[in-house]
Structure 1
């Protein structure tokens, strides 16, 4: 009997032991609690795991889709839902590993730690007006770090962001906590090299909110005090970082990339100030298209990152060409037709200037023989006497040479402003006309087997049309066409323009082509009218 009793208890104990081991092994991983992980810098870090260790959480409204990774608590993807790439895909402004940010810490033991190596646990909440995502991680001895994102439900490109902490002073040195953000700009247009010409890092600083930028071409960096915002700008889109707690000192850097996927790299690095030995820091990101009116609504002079040129050129583009384009957009016409209408309107406004120029040209060409006779007569005279005789001759025939000089000077700002307007206006992005598939990009009808310096490796048909019209206008407007030993010199400017315009926006070439055609029409009409009246008056 005793032996049987001992066997019975042994059997029960064995079964219980097996069940305990079985249930421990079956317990879900996320219920085990925390686990010590050895980081690359040999610091033991306690991190709470989410059910999906390397998962993502999505915040989304009508305009933007944001993916946030558990690893590092970073934004891993940004989609702008109302825009497409050149090959008609939804536009992705940020993708995995192209955009990283986080905290660089120095622990009390002197070790360097990067929060991008940490795993965060997401907690998504929804209010009537916004989505709020809290990404939480834990560090020893029982402290915590929170990244808090919020995205408005209504139409908005703005992602609000804040960092809070608890127990940070027991883990890190409070004057050795830095915010580090890096971004590689993804190539979004068909020709990355062309797009790279318009990619640039801009920033605003100081109480006067001055705006400056790093070099578009060469690697550049700067240390800026009291920065207001930083924009990593592409040709038509930008990422704007706006710290609500002003950084006292920020190091910014940028450089061009030769990658087949990325066009430019930019970074910022700044120490963070603690309040009562804890982080309570707020900022926001704006992932926005470079639409002038949209940026202006944000305030803080965001609209000035659109490269419309310096001062007077910027003023002409903002206050005239942009408003004229927006007005004509209401017609719902093709954008090529809208550019033609813009050209006609500008020509009508500038008609008094064009009129005096053409009047001068017509009369001078008719009196060419008299001018040549006067020049022959005064060839040995001193410069002052020649000048006085020439002025007197102009008075006799009723023209003023300044009627050509000053109008030409007046039109230079308009000419240069257009160079900055057409490649940088998002309204024209992806808009086609005839054989040009994008009016902000050069049209190419033939690809050359080699690259010609300055000119490029393609043939732009709109450029050829413009140059042909330019040559005709130069030929018929040139006063000293005959008897001039340097007659080929007058074609120097068209040749120069051929080299440079070939790689510019097709909308610009279209504008100049129509402008020169209108100049030719006005020249012939005025020339015919003026010469007829002059002959009748002198017979």
Structure 2
């Protein structure tokens, strides 16, 4: 590693850390501007020759996101504004529906606790999605007369189904049907409901329907320590998936700090696209809307939220997402039905990857990114190990799954690691000879390079041997990191002293600072590894950087999830034991004898040294 590349690497690392810091720090608030006013309709001639005023045209959807004004505070809906609340319940979810707009005010996930109690056990309160919120889920947005300000009536109700109805100015009848399966029927999932909105023309004239949007609700961060990258909206266009991170609407960040970016937050982002499914998610839970007919636009809004109790001076915010639809005009007494599936539940890859139920790549909502392939392999392997360990240790099954998955990876890559370690030992042995070559050919770089390569060849040293295992394992490390930070399966799962593998394993606070054991153990293993591993000679600057790396890495990962620190610690402990064994092993490959010197004619000089007498 030369000084130039080392400097560039350090600068990029500091820039990334600064960007995350300033992105989290620069939070602000906004409100979408009021909807545009629709001009009055022109008179219409009737069949008897008289001219009568036409009914007022339905107000068109106002795409206010494309024309943001000065950001203001968005008003959150309170429980007092809900109207009549109805419930659809199965063993996994409880839908709380409101007659105001005929939407879903919030969704309680019955299998997931909101918090841990003082004993580190899951509390009674359940995780509730779309709380707080600015709109009910599946409410009409920007459509006065049919939005959440309109009271719908219930026309039918059963244990699994409810139907709402409203009539707009005696011209348009809107019915909204919700069906929640229990998950036992083939091709259904207990977290996914079926919704249908039907528009029926009650007049004798063709009725154009305005462009409208349906809300997916609001996603909020799960804690004050969550970075904005983990709160996202997203969509699929049928081929690729795209995600809008919370930080894109915050403003600020590292570029603004150095004067190259804006500090002002964006009220919203409008994305025209073919929307085959849309989502709004936080770290562990998601809402996915999959319409039968694709939408035309995705609108993502930033929503200010109440501050967390442990960070009262730090502004909090989430994301609200809307999908825009275009519907053809209704013929006289005709109707059109807009059907869709709505998933509201955990981000569980194994569940969402079930192609018999989720047929539009909804598992991509996990947002594993560039390392998706490795994350999917590791999560599948870890889930399989968990199923095997659950019968042996139910309480710590996920912790053991991480440990065993890590050991499996280490064993798979053991041949590469052994080869790299042997190469490093040989490299260390030839350092005196390499130093002698540098002194001998210091004025002739070409000769020095040629002599060095001959030295490597004679001692069976691969100069790239130490890099190959690192290059191979880095994708798996980042795949593990991305997977562990968003796997809902790990939330509130305990292991050893940690009560939640998805959070830092804080055991105490000293002067207000958290004491996290697992990252400290990880850092200790890195320091021991560095002392045991043979390293080629380096100048003082590089040696100091190498010594600081375990401390920097420990500090960087100190507040990451316990699961990631556990993976790194187990990886380090295995590597320490492996290195101790390698250091005691003799190199089976002896260096080849040096080539005999040659005469000017190119023939080797004959060795005429007399034999010693016995």
For the superposition of Structure 1 and Structure 2, which TM-score range results when normalised by the shorter chain?
Answer: 0.7 to 0.9
What does residue 86 of structure 2 align with?
Answer: 57
- Is residue 285–residue 347 contact of structure 2 (8 Å, CA) maintained in 1? yes
Question: What is the Cα deviation at residue 125 of structure 1?
Answer: 3.8
Q: Counterpart in 2 of 1:453?
A: none
Does 1:359 find its partner at 2:422? yes
Distance 2:323 2:425 in 1: 64
Aligned to 2:247: 217
Deviation at residue 346 of structure 1 after TM alignment: 1.1
Higher strand share: 1
Query: What secondary structure is seen at the aligned counterpart in 1 of 2:585?
Result: helix
2:321 pairs with 1:238: no
Counterpart for residue 326 of structure 1: 384
Q: How does 1:235-314 map to 2 (within 5 A)?
A: 235-247=283-295, 249-255=296-302, 257-260=304-307, 263-274=317-328, 276-277=330-331, 278-297=335-354, 298-310=358-370, 313-314=371-372
| Structure 1 residue 279 displacement after superposition | 4.1
CA distance in 1, matches of 2:367, 2:435: 48
Report the equivalent of 1:78. 107
Other-structure match for 2:438: 375
- Give 1:95 shift: 4.0
Hey, what does 1:160 align to over in structure 2? 194
Deviation per residue, 1:336-362 (Å, 9 max, x gap): 233222222111110011101111222
Residue 533 of structure 1 deviates from its aligned partner by 8.4
Cα 1:138/1:176, change in 2 over 3 Å: closer
Specify the SS of the correspondent of 2:226: helix
C-alpha offsets along residues 256-298 of structure 1, whole Å, 9 cap, x if unaligned? 6453367412222524313534442222211121111211221
Question: Aligned partners of 2:182 and 2:540: how far apart in 1?
Answer: 71
SS in 2 for 1:399: coil
CA separation of 1:273/1:260 partners in 2, compared to 1, >3 Å: closer, same or farther? same
Pairing 1:92–2:154 present: no
Structure 2 gaps of 5+ residues are 1-36, 39-54, 57-81, 117-122, 185-189, 250-267, 309-315, 594-614
Post-superposition CA distance 1:364-403 (Å, at most 9, x none): 334443343343333x232221111111112222222222
Q: Distance in 2 between matches of 1:168 and 1:449?
A: 70
Instruction: Write the mapping of 1:498-517 to structure 2, written as runs, cut at 5 A.
Output: 498-517=554-573
Cα deviation for residue 491 of structure 1 reads 1.7
- Cα deviation, 1:15-71, whole Å, max 9, x if unaligned, reads xxxxxxxxxxxxxxxxxxxxxxxxx99x99xxxxxxxx9322211112211121122
SS in 1 for 2:248: coil
Q: State the distance in 2 between where 1:83 and 1:352 align.
A: 42
Deviations 1:133-156 (A, max 9, x none): 111123333753211111224452
Change (3 A) 1:531 1:504: same
Deviation, 1:327, is: 2.7
In the superposition, relative to structure 1, how do residues 330 and 98 fare at CA in structure 2: closer, same or farther (>3 Å)? farther
Equivalent in 520, 530, 534 of residue 474 of structure 1: 530
Supply the distance in 1 between the matched residues of 2:161 and 2:469 (Cα, whole angstroms).
59
Question: What is the rounded CA distance, in whole Å, between the counterparts of 2:227 and 2:115 in structure 1?
Answer: 12
The SS at the match of 2:194 is strand
For the residue of structure 2 that corresponds to 1:159, the secondary structure is strand
Deviation at 1:173, TM superposition (A): 6.4
Change (3 A) 1:258 1:381: farther
Unaligned 5+ segments in structure 1 are 1-39, 45-52, 107-111, 451-456
Q: Is the 8 A contact 2:522 2:568 kept in 1?
A: yes
Whether the aligned pair in 2 keeps the contact of 1:56 and 1:68 (CA below 8 Å) is yes
Do the aligned residues in 1 keep the contact of 2:557 with 2:565 (CA within 8 Å)?
yes
Equivalents in 2 of 1:409, 1:174: separation in Å?
59
SS of 1:116's partner is: coil
Contact 1:214 1:254 in 2 (8 A): no
Flag the 1:446–1:389 CA change in 2: closer, same or farther, 3 A: farther
Residue 415 of structure 1 is matched in structure 2 by: 477
| Aligned partners of 2:201 and 2:207 also within 8 Å | no
Q: Which moved more, 1:406-415 or 1:163-172?
A: 163-172
> Structure 2: how far apart are the matches of 1:336 and 1:462?
12
**Match of 1:299, SS?**
coil
State how far apart, in whole Å, the 2-side matches of 1:183 and 1:131 are.
22
Asked if the contact 2:215/2:321 (under 8 Å) is kept, the reply is: yes
Q: 1:400 aligns with which of 459, 462, 474?
A: 462
Larger Rg: 1
Distance 1:321 1:131 in 2: 33
Mapping of 1:338-357 within 5 angstroms? 338-357=401-420
8 Å Cα contact 2:152-2:164 kept in structure 1: yes
Q: How many residues align?
A: 467
Q: Point out the structure with the larger helix share.
A: 1
Q: Residue 178 of structure 2 aligns with which residue?
A: 149
Does the alignment pair 1:490 with 2:546? yes
